[in-house]
């Protein structure tokens, strides 16, 4: 069977470190073209993947079988819409859109055209999150009452760029960046959200988008999620603390896959996605606790499922309607922070 030709829009951090190597590692997919006007990046995609560089997303529409949108957030909706209108299935990096309404419109267009639309919520395949799902399914935590989840960094000096100085039209800031992952994980683990409270701040000089945000979610089933995203955490908290009626799970440090991808490893590299024992989390109650092996992280699963969807009719790896649900929560968080109140969904 001939591989599906994949056109990638954007070769910044998301395109270069996540999408391109994962696509290249997936049977049934071939990275054939990348939208970039940077000569150095063009040379890299040609040398590393044998892909051609093109100057505009429209150049992909007649020569590819799948479009992957990994360009700045403000371009996600118009580029996805154009690809769907051209009759092509689409993968969009998170966040899919600035609003649940825009995301819902894209989902409707995809349904009307009979095309796949899915979103790169790769953190569903973090090893630590997969470990939590395994522990919950096995009943080792009992009834989960609280999820604490953090993406915290210590970056007192801004890096610059649209993510830090862009406004709402750029869909900038940590709430929609890392917060997209935390909310998605919380909803997948604990179910629908009934109430949202958020505090959002800009802490660093020269930054105009939120860089220190807290979100509290009340889930319909009774559990609560406390979520932090920050660039100014001088002392990092645990990545996860999950409390249940029988035991709790605590995990420090980020999933290893991003670190490995940035170092040039791929899913085919020995040890990819495997955490060493010193990075494992612990499970227990009171003074009784034990180390728990972290599940094998598997970002490559996303594109394997994309290939299965397009070649064999399987469901997409991420249902866009689930993303609409998470964006509804993010919108409520933004409103809560602005008006300093709890928002009921």
pLDDT attached to residue 212: 98
**Helix %, strand %, coil % for the chain, to 5?**
40, 25, 35
d(CA 107, CA 222): 29
pLDDT attached to residue 67: 98
Domain ranges of the chain: 4-120, 123-298+328-344
CATH value of 4-120 in 3.40.50.720, 3.40.50.300, 3.20.20.100, 2.60.40.10: 3.40.50.720
Q: What angle do CA 339, 344, 345 make, to 5 degrees?
A: 120
Q: How far apart are the first and last CA of the chain?
A: 47
CA-CA-CA-CA dihedral for 57, 58, 60, 65, to nearest 10:
110
pLDDT attached to residue 1: 62
95 prior amide bond cis, ω within 30: yes
pLDDT attached to residue 206: 93
> What is the Cα gyration radius of the chain?
20
Secondary structure (DSSP) of 248-306: EEEE-S--HHHHHHHTT--TTSTTTTPPPGGG-EEEEETTEEEEEPPPPP-THHHHHHH
Taking the domain 123-298+328-344, which CATH number applies? 3.30.360.10
DSSP bridge partners of 41: none
- Where b means 16+ CB within 10 Å and e means fewer, 211-245 reads bbbbbbbbbeeebbbbbbbbbbbeebebbbbbbbe
Which residue, chain included where needed, has tokens 């479009």? 67
Question: Which of 39, 2, 48 is closest to 21 using CA atoms?
Answer: 48
Task: Report the half-sphere exposure of 322 (CA within 13 A, side-chain side).
Answer: 21
Whole-structure pTM value: 0.96
Q: Under DSSP, is residue 37 helix (H, G, I), strand (E, B) or coil?
A: coil
pLDDT attached to residue 160: 87
Q: What is the mean pLDDT of each run of 10 residues along the chain (345 residues)?
A: 93 96 97 96 96 95 96 97 98 97 98 98 98 98 98 95 89 96 98 98 95 98 98 98 98 97 95 97 96 98 98 97 98 98 98
């Amino acid at each position: 069977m001939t591989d599906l030709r994949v056109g990638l829009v954007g070769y910044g951090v998301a395109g270069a470190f996540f999408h391109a190597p994962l696509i290249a590692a997936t049977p049934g997919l071939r990275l054939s073209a990348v939208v970039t006007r940077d000569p150095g990046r063009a040379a890299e995609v040609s040398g590393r993947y044998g892909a051609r560089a093109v100057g505009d997303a429209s150049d992909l529409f007649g020569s590819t079988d799948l479009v992957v949108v990994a360009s700045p957030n403000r371009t996600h909706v118009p580029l996805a819409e154009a690809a769907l209108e051209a009759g092509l299935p689409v993968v969009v990096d998170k966040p899919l859109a600035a609003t649940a309404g825009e995301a819902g419109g894209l989902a409707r267009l995809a349904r009307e055209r009979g095309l796949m639309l899915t979103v790169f919520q790769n953190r569903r395949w973090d090893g630590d999150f997969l470990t939590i799902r395994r522990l919950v399914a096995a009943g080792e935590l009992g009834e989960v009452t609280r999820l604490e989840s953090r993406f915290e960094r210590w970056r007192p000096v801004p890096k610059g760029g649209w993510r830090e100085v862009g406004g709402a039209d750029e869909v900038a800031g940590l709430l929609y960046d890392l917060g997209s992952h935390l909310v998605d994980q919380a909803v997948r683990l604990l179910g629908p959200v009934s109430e949202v409270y958020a505090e959002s701040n800009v802490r660093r000089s020269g930054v105009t988008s939120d860089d220190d945000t807290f979100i509290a979610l009340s889930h319909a089933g009774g559990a609560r999620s406390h979520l932090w995203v920050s660039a100014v955490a001088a002392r990092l908290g645990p990545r996860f603390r999950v409390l249940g009626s029988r035991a709790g799970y605590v995990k420090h440090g980020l999933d290893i896959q991003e670190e490995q991808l940035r170092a040039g490893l791929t899913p085919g590299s020995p040890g990819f996605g495997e955490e060493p024992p010193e990075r494992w989390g612990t499970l227990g109650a009171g003074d009784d606790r034990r180390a728990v092996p972290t599940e094998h992280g598997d970002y490559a699963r996303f594109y394997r499922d994309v290939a299965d969807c397009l070649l064999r009719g399987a469901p997409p790896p991420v249902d866009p309607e689930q993303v609409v649900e998470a964006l509804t929560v993010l919108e409520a968080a933004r409103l809560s922070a602005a008006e300093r109140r709890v928002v009921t969904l």
